[in-house]
Amino acid sequence: MKILVIQGVNLNRLGHRERGVYGSRTLEEFNLEIELFAAYKGVRMEFFQSNSERAIVERIHAAAADFDGFDGIVINPAAHTHYSVAIRDALAAVNIPAVEVHISNIHAREDFREHSVTAGACIGQISGFGALSYCLAIDAIVERAAGALVLPQNLRKTPYEIENMRTAASIANDAFTYIKEYVSPGKTERDIALELEFFMRKNGAEGLAFDTIVASGERSANPHAVPSDEKIPTNGYVMLDFGCKVNGCCSDMTRMIACGEISPQMRKIHDIVQEAQTAALSVIREGARASDVDKAARDIINAAGFAENFMHSTGHGVGTVVHEEPRISPKSTAILEEGMVITVEPGIYLEGVGGVRLEDMVVVTKDGCRNLSYGKTN
Ligand code: DQA
């Protein structure tokens, strides 16, 4: 990875100009610190400084034409920040993600510095951290290129986190008990989602863990269905996938509600999914391979002839983010450890007919798992 740092007008005077605002390090010392950080991150750097708007515009153009390619630009346009449409347009004209940085906090100074003309052509702006502003910008470019923020996750949850997830799961479980009575043919999926969410909020949830799924009839064949204004049919299952947050910790569960008559075909896939879930749960313990948990569920669904209809992984870790490591999938290399919280959620989806998914959230123990999805008495 290669990143270009552009230092704008007057920044060659660093170490001499307004030391109270910009510090006492010279531009060379500044750049050296940034380069050391970049080297630690495995990023190659190039530095450019100019007091000329034209030279900066041309350097940006040249970066786009560079045969070796830049993966990002960190730019401190300095005073040009506040009025250079030319630099903004140059950044917009090249296909390189740029982060605008400032040594001082431009929002805590004179009013005219608050406004940036150039930031609108950047992926973000970092202001007020001295040389660290540049390092944070490099980090942002690196993490963004990786596709997601790669935060070090504590996969083994603390007793405090587990307790909060248990509370969140318990609120969700109570919401399910309540909503079973509420669901009836003629109500819309959106009605049910809102009622579920309202119940959880009213009973101690600080928010949702993710967007609630309520899907009935054929629409439940889509694992990621969004609640619609479709009315619940007289006969068939309604799929609910929902969760809430307590002290920042998430819960996640999927339940099926039967309305009226259930067709033999849907009843059959429900039983298979239940069997697959029980099999996967029985494999979980400290030291078990995540891929074996997936396999236990998948083997049963495959043997019943529905291999193609189970197109997602069996589960995932849960914590302060609803989808965390470890993935419970065929390709996962993770080994389960005591204190990990994971979901077990096999499903079968028949296009044009409907789907069934059953999901519990469990905490891995030394010799098995503790299911968090059935309320506090469980
Ligand atoms: C600056 C802030 C600008 O307002 C000012 O004109 C600069 C430096 C900074 O890095 O804090 O020259 O970009």
- Residue 76 domain-assigned? yes
pLDDT digits (tens, 9 = 90+) for 116-146: 999 999 999 999 999 999 999 999 998 888 7
- Diameter over CA atoms, the chain: 82
308 in the same domain as 191? yes
230 in the same domain as 166? yes
Task: Over range 322-351, report the average pLDDT.
Answer: 93
304 in the same domain as 179? yes
Judge whether residue 264 has pLDDT over 90. yes
Domain count, the chain: 2
Alpha carbon distance 277, 297 (integer Å): 6
CA of 84 to the centre of ligand 1 (A): 13
Q: What is the pLDDT of residue 324?
A: 84
Judge whether residue 149 has pLDDT over 60. no
Find the CATH number of the domain harbouring 91.
3.40.50.9100
282 in the same domain as 216? yes
Other C-beta atoms lying within 10 Å of the C-beta of residue 40: 10
231 in the same domain as 101? no
What phi and psi values does residue 375 have, to the nearest 5 degrees? 90, 170
Find the CATH number of the domain harbouring 171.
3.90.230.10
CA of 64 to the centre of ligand 1 (A): 25
Q: Which domain holds residue 96?
A: 2-145
Can you read off the two tokens belonging to residue 67?
């045969």
Percent of the residues in the chain that have a pLDDT greater than 70, as a whole number: 97
Residues whose CB falls within 8 Å of the CB of residue 75, separated by 6 or more in sequence, listed in order:
5, 6, 8, 87, 91, 98, 99, 100, 101, 118, 122
274 in the same domain as 164? yes
CA of 134 to the centre of ligand 1 (A): 13
169 in the same domain as 55? no
316 in the same domain as 178? yes
- Residue 200 domain-assigned? yes
- Residue 153 domain-assigned? no
76 in the same domain as 184? no
Q: What is the pLDDT of residue 377?
A: 52
Measured by CA distance, the residue closest to atom 12 of ligand 1 is: 78
The pTM (predicted TM-score) of the whole model is 0.62
258 in the same domain as 213? yes
CA of 70 to the centre of ligand 1 (A): 24
- Residue 150 domain-assigned? no
Q: Show the CA angle centred on residue 284, arms to residues 279 and 289, nearest 5°.
A: 105
Can you read off the two tokens belonging to residue 308?
């193609």
Ligand 1 binding pocket (C-beta < 6 A) is 10, 76, 78-79, 81, 102-104, 106, 113
Task: Over range 168-177, report the average pLDDT.
Answer: 97
Alpha carbon distance 378, 149 (integer Å): 35
